[in-house]
C-alpha cells in the first residue's frame, strides 16, 4: 500500500524539470519535500496529482496509475494548495458539501467530520460566510477542513504552514500526526525546516529536479557525509553545492 514514483521525468512543454525521480511513500508516513525555489517541488506534486502528465516513468497508488483508474486514483488523494482556491459564490458550508460530493461522502457525514475541525479553527460560526469575508489564513483553514473530511489515503500539501497563525500551526501539525497514525500518507513541501524536522519520518531533498538525498536525518547525514549535521546544516550544504554547480 504505497505511493510509488518510478523513473519519473516531468515538466512543461517537453522540457523536463524532474529528472529520473524515484521514491515511495508508505501509508502512515509523513514525508517532507525540501528544496530551493525552482527545484521542482510543485512540479512533482502536480505530477502526482495528475495535473501534469509524466514525460517518462510512472506514478502509482497501490499499483494503479491515474490512467489505469482515474476515479480511484483521484479519490485516494486530497490536496491542499499553497494558495487557497475557493469559489467566491459558495459559502463555507457549500464548500464542504461540494467536497463531499466530489469524494462520494454523504453530506451529513462530511458535516459531522467537519464540525470538530471547524471548532478547532474557530470557523464554526462562519458556515454561511462567503470567501470574500475570510482572511488568507481563514481561507487556508477552509482548504484544510475540506481535505481532512475526505477518506483520501494520501494527503498532498504545498507549503502547509504559510499564512497560518502559531496556534493554527500547532493544531494542524497535531492533526497531521493523528492522520498519519490512522494510516494516511502525507507528502508536503516546506521551507520551514524546524517544523519539518519535528513532523517528518523522512525527507526528499530535491535539487534542480534531481532527488539528491532521501531518508531520515541519520540517513541524510550518511548520504551527505556529514555525521554530526542537523537538517538545517544538510540543507545549507545542498544549496551551497547547487551554487557551486
The helix (H) or strand (E) run that includes residue 154 is: strand 154-158
**Interacting residues with ligand ATP between 13 and 72 (CB under 6 A):** 17, 35, 37-43
* Distance from C-alpha of 167 to C-alpha of 183, rounded to nearest angstrom: 25
Which is closer to ligand ATP, CB of 43 or CB of 76? Answer: 43
Task: Please work out the total of residues on this chain that contact ligand ATP, with binding judged by CB under 6 A.
Answer: 10
Closest by CA position to 195, among listed 242, 220, 162, 239:
162
Which is closer to ligand ATP, CB of 131 or CB of 209? Answer: 209
Cβ at position 208, least distance to ligand ATP in Å: 9
Which is closer to ligand ATP, CB of 34 or CB of 145? Answer: 34
Which is closer to ligand ATP, CB of 33 or CB of 220? Answer: 33
Q: Please give the grid coordinates belonging to residue 159.
A: 507549503
* Distance from C-alpha of 236 to C-alpha of 46, rounded to nearest angstrom: 26
Q: Please give the grid coordinates belonging to residue 63.
A: 499499483
Cβ at position 13, least distance to ligand ATP in Å: 7
Cβ at position 112, least distance to ligand ATP in Å: 35
Cβ at position 37, least distance to ligand ATP in Å: 3
3 state DSSP class of 80 = strand
Can you say whether the dihedral through the CA atoms of 157, 161, 166, 168 is positive or negative? negative
**Interacting residues with ligand ATP between 146 and 185 (CB under 6 A):** none
Q: How far is CA 175 from CA 62, 81, 147, 163, 181, in A?
A: 24, 17, 12, 17, 10
Which is closer to ligand ATP, CB of 103 or CB of 161? Answer: 161
**Interacting residues with ligand ATP between 182 and 201 (CB under 6 A):** none
Cβ at position 74, least distance to ligand ATP in Å: 21
Which is closer to ligand ATP, CB of 148 or CB of 213? Answer: 213
Give 214-220's long-range contacts (Cβ < 8 A, gap of 24+).
214/23
| Contact pick of 1, 7, 12, 112 for ligand ATP (by CB under 6 A) | 12
**Interacting residues with ligand ATP between 102 and 141 (CB under 6 A):** none
Cβ at position 3, least distance to ligand ATP in Å: 18
DSSP letter, residue 93: H
Q: How far is CA 46 from CA 143, 156, 218, 233, in A?
A: 17, 10, 29, 28
Which is closer to ligand ATP, CB of 32 or CB of 35? Answer: 35
Binding site for ligand ATP (CB under 6 A): 12, 17, 35, 37-43
Amino acid at each position: 500500500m504505497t505511493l510509488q514514483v518510478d523513473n519519473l521525468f516531468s515538466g512543461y512543454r517537453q522540457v523536463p524539470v524532474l529528472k529520473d525521480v524515484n521514491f515511495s511513500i508508505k501509508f502512515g508516513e509523513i514525508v517532507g519535500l525540501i528544496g530551493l525555489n525552482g527545484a521542482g517541488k510543485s512540479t512533482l506534486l502536480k505530477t502526482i496529482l495528475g495535473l501534469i502528465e509524466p514525460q517518462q516513468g510512472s506514478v502509482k497508488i497501490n499499483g494503479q496509475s491515474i490512467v489505469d483508474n482515474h476515479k480511484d486514483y483521484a479519490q485516494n488523494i486530497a490536496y491542499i494548495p499553497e494558495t487557497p482556491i475557493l469559489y467566491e459564490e459558495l459559502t463555507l458550508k457549500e464548500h464542504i458539501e461540494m467536497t463531499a460530493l466530489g469524494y462520494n461522502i454523504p453530506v451529513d457525514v462530511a458535516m459531522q467530520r467537519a464540525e470538530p475541525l471547524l471548532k478547532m479553527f474557530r470557523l464554526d460560526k462562519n458556515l454561511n460566510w462567503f470567501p470574500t469575508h475570510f482572511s488568507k489564513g481563514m481561507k487556508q483553514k477552509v482548504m484544510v477542513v475540506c481535505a481532512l473530511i475526505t477518506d483520501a489515503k494520501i494527503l498532498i500539501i504545498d507549503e502547509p504552514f504559510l499564512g497560518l497563525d502559531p496556534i493554527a500551526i500547532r493544531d494542524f501539525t497535531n492533526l497531521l500526526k493523528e492522520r498519519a497514525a490512522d494510516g494516511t500518507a502525507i507528502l508536503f513541501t516546506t521551507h520551514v525546516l524546524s517544523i519539518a524536522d519535528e513532523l517528518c519520518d523522512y525527507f526528499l531533498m530535491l535539487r534542480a529536479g534531481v532527488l539528491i538525498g532521501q531518508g531520515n536525518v541519520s540517513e541524510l547525514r550518511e548520504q551527505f557525509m556529514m555525521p554530526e549535521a542537523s537538517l538545517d546544516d544538510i540543507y545549507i550544504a545542498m544549496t551551497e553545492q547547487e551554487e557551486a554547480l
